[in-house]
């Protein structure tokens, strides 16, 4: 009876192969599906990218002593400081859909509209503080 209990304990090779086949099929489904996509994360990434560009334009104005104009142009799908090589605009929605210009002055002040980044129901508003030139983001 002792040898009979020993023979029935553990897994058979067939059972282990079935489990491995199921795990491989699940793994293949996950790989084929690709990474999970989050509209909110994509929107936040786009907002960070544009805010970084705005901050760079502000710093250029302070260090160079010259006014810098930063453009976001949804029609041309680009953004950047006018007079430099533009960057590709992240593929999300923008309000307004026309070109927006932010002006950064050498004294640190700024002027510009509020641009709203839109991806589905999610929105982030980007603007600048007129007195300090600080970039402000709301929403998300």
pLDDT band (50, 70, 90) for residue 7: low
Q: What is the pLDDT of residues 56-67, one digit of tens each?
A: 999 999 999 999
pLDDT of the residue at 10: 79
Q: Look over the chain and give the mean of its residue pLDDT values, rounded to a whole number.
A: 90
Of the candidate ranges 17-26, 57-66, 120-129, the one whose mean pLDDT is the lowest: 17-26
- Which run of H or E residues covers position 44? helix 39-64
Strand order in the sheet with 87-88: 87-88, 78-81, 68-73, 100-104, 110-111
One-letter-per-residue 3-state SS of 100-112: EEEEECCCCCEEC
What mean pLDDT is predicted for residues 6-16?
Answer: 77
Q: What is the pLDDT of residues 63-110, one digit of tens each?
A: 999 999 999 999 999 999 999 999 999 999 999 999 999 999 999 999
pLDDT of the residue at 3: 56
Distance (Å, whole) CA 45 – CA 47: 5
Contact 109, 130 (CB under 8 A): yes
Q: Is 129 helix (H, G, I), strand (E, B) or coil?
A: coil
């Amino acid at each position: 009876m002792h040898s009979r209990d020993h023979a029935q304990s553990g897994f058979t090779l067939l059972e282990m192969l079935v489990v491995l086949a199921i795990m491989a099929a699940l793994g293949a489904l996950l790989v084929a599906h690709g990474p999970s996509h989050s509209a909110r994360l994509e929107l936040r990434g786009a907002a960070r990218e544009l805010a970084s560009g705005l901050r760079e334009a502000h710093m250029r104005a302070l260090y160079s002593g010259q006014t810098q104009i930063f453009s976001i142009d949804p029609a041309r799908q680009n953004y950047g400081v006018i007079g430099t090589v533009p960057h590709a605009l992240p593929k999300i929605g923008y309000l307004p859909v026309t070109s927006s210009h932010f002006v950064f002055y050498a004294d640190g002040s700024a002027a510009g509209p509020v641009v709203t980044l839109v991806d589905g129901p999610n929105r982030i508003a980007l603007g600048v503080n007129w007195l300090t030139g600080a970039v402000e983001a709301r929403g998300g």
